[in-house]
């Protein structure tokens, strides 16, 4: 049939608006680039710019100037632990915006010096005009559905299969791979490098449509949806970090890594890292992925620096901490504080000295136990504060993986931070660094 090559389903016939050979229209308004875009944006009122940029910063509508910090989005950034690893440990300021559904967590992050927005991961649209110059993406998704302490919905084979299949469909909808047909709409024109235009909201809906269980398990779609979407939208994305429970199934790790590899990433690697091996007074074993588009990555090796919980907060190392009152579990309900203590959870709000039930951890002490400064400005009720700190991406591990991604010798910075945070334990490292500042330049 004549004209079949530009047959349009919407018009039910051949049409010029869908003719692949038709000349491209001249760019207008926000389709402009460079100086023309700057001139157009400057012609608008501040209210108009804010409306276009929302919820992102207006400055992100403008091209990034040479010398300006690179732009980063942190999906499910919580109270800013990952951001603290960059700013407080490495001393690096990137133009990072963290998003999270917890109002208290975003308020805490802002009070700590982060840029934070209260919004859902599902509302991060990689096609948004304000995100077209994003250089790095961080995903620190909540872990209850994958954690041994949670309901483990994300570990069920049926949910793993649904998530991995939707990851493939989403990547293909953005143009990662050509195929004929698909379970979620017509993506037969999704040739590599072309975006099908399917709304992000609809893509997230595929999880529910396929029967995905668990409140948080499906959020692991974000690393594929946002990362691939950013690249297809022209963002200069060069690095990705993911933090999740160490029990994250291998199938999901492989599926994420495969989509990034297909999309041209040079190096994508998963590791299981424990914050307790990086100097944290509390354990926090996590699956960490680091991905780079332009250079091979050095493996992140734990330095084996340890800090006993009792030393970090000045308690007697012989103190026994009760975590469950009179309730007993297979793992017991008490532990001795003279060690790297078990991972902090939201339930630390009720933990107490077994010899004195009135002697409980202060929020300042909990901050120290997760690797933050004692005066970290955590807001909200005690329950909310403990929830935020129990969900944190360890700033110590964050510093190490960011260092690997940025090609920085992160270990001297980590040692200095530990020495300043816990001088009673690491004062010798601090003295060594102070007398040999060239260590930091190594």
Strand pairing class (7-8; 13-14): antiparallel
pLDDT tens-digit map of 380-427 = 999 999 999 999 999 999 999 999 999 999 999 999 999 999 998 887
Topology adopted by domain 65-306+380-408: Rossmann fold (3.40.50)
Could you tell me the two tokens for 113? Answer: 């010096």
Length of the chain: 442
Q: Determine the pLDDT at residue 3.
A: 41
- Taking the C-alpha atoms of residue 93 and residue 68, their distance in angstroms, rounded to an integer, is 10
Q: Determine the pLDDT at residue 60.
A: 98
At 263, the pLDDT band (50, 70, 90 cuts) reads confident
Query: What does pLDDT average to over the chain?
Result: 88
- Taking the C-alpha atoms of residue 58 and residue 80, their distance in angstroms, rounded to an integer, is 22
DSSP 152-207: -GGGSHHHHHHHHHHHHHHHHHTTSS--S--SSS--TT--TT------HHHHHHHH
Report angle CA 376, 382, 385 to the nearest 5 degrees: 40
Where is average pLDDT lowest: 74-83, 146-155, 219-228, 371-380?
Answer: 146-155
Where is average pLDDT lowest: 84-88, 189-193, 214-218?
Answer: 189-193
At 180, the pLDDT band (50, 70, 90 cuts) reads very low
Helix (H, G, I), strand (E, B) or coil at 221: helix
Question: 238 and 293 in contact (C-beta within 8 Å)?
Answer: yes
Domain boundaries, the chain: 65-306+380-408, 309-379
| pLDDT: which is higher, 27 or 302 | 302
| pLDDT: which is higher, 218 or 9 | 218
DSSP 272-338: EEEGGGBT-SB--EEEEEEEESSSPPPP-----B---HHHHHT--TTPEEESSTT---TT-SEEESS
Q: Is 43 buried (19+), middle (13-18) or exposed (0-12) by CB count in 10 A?
A: exposed
Read off the pLDDT of each residue in 301-323 and give the average, rounded to a whole number: 95
- Taking the C-alpha atoms of residue 428 and residue 434, their distance in angstroms, rounded to an integer, is 10
Read off the pLDDT of each residue in 145-172 and give the average, rounded to a whole number: 91
What's the whole-model pTM score?
Answer: 0.87
Strand pairing class (239-245; 267-274): unpaired
Where is average pLDDT lowest: 94-108, 114-128, 166-180, 395-409?
Answer: 166-180
Bridge partners, residue 285, by sequence: 274
| pLDDT: which is higher, 70 or 24 | 70
């Amino acid at each position: 049939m004549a004209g079949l090559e530009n047959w349009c389903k919407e018009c039910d016939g051949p049409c010029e608006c869908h003719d692949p050979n038709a000349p491209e229209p001249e760019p207008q308004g926000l389709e402009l680039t460079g100086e023309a875009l700057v001139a157009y944006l400057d012609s608008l009122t501040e209210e108009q710019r804010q409306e276009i940029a929302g919820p992102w910063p207006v400055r992100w509508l403008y091209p990034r100037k040479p010398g300006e910090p690179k732009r980063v989005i942190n999906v499910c950034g919580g109270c800013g632990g990952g951001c603290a690893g960059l700013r407080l440990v490495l001393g690096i300021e990137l133009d990072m915006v963290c998003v999270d559904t917890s109002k208290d967590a975003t308020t805490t992050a802002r009070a700590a010096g982060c840029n934070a927005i209260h919004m859902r991961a599902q509302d991060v649209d990689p096609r948004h005009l304000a995100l077209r110059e994003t250089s790095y993406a961080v995903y620190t998704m909540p872990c209850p559905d994958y954690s041994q302490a949670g309901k483990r919905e994300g570990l069920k084979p049926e949910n793993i299969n649904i998530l991995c299949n939707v990851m493939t469909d989403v990547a293909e909808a953005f143009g990662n791979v050509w195929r004929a047909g698909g379970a979620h709409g017509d993506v037969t024109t999704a040739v590599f490098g072309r975006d099908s235009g399917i709304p992000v909201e609809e893509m997230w809906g595929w999880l529910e449509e396929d029967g995905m269980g668990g409140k948080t398990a499906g959020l692991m779609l974000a690393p594929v949806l946002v990362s691939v979407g950013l690249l297809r939208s022209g963002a200069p994305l060069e690095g990705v970090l993911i933090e999740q429970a160490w029990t994250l199934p291998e199938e999901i790790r492989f599926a994420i890594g495969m989509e990034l590899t297909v999309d041209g990433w040079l190096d994508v690697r998963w590791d299981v890292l424990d914050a307790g091996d990086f100097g944290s007074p509390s354990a926090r074993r996590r699956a960490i992925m680091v991905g780079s588009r332009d250079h091979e990555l050095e493996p992140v090796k734990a330095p084996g620096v340890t800090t006993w919980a009792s030393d970090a907060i000045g308690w007697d190392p012989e103190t026994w901490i009760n975590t469950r009152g009179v309730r007993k579990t297979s793992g017991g309900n008490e532990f001795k504080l003279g060690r790297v203590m078990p991972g902090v959870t939201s339930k630390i709000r009720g933990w107490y000295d077994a010899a004195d039930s009135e002697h409980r951890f202060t929020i300042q002490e909990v901050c120290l136990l997760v690797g933050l400064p004692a005066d970290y400005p955590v807001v909200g009720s005690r329950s909310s504060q403990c929830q935020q700190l129990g969900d944190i991406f360890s700033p110590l591990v964050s510093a190490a993986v960011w260092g690997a991604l940025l090609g920085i010798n992160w270990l001297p910075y980590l040692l200095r931070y530990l020495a300043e945070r816990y001088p009673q334990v690491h004062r010798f490292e601090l003295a060594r660094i102070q007398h040999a500042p060239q260590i930091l330049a190594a």
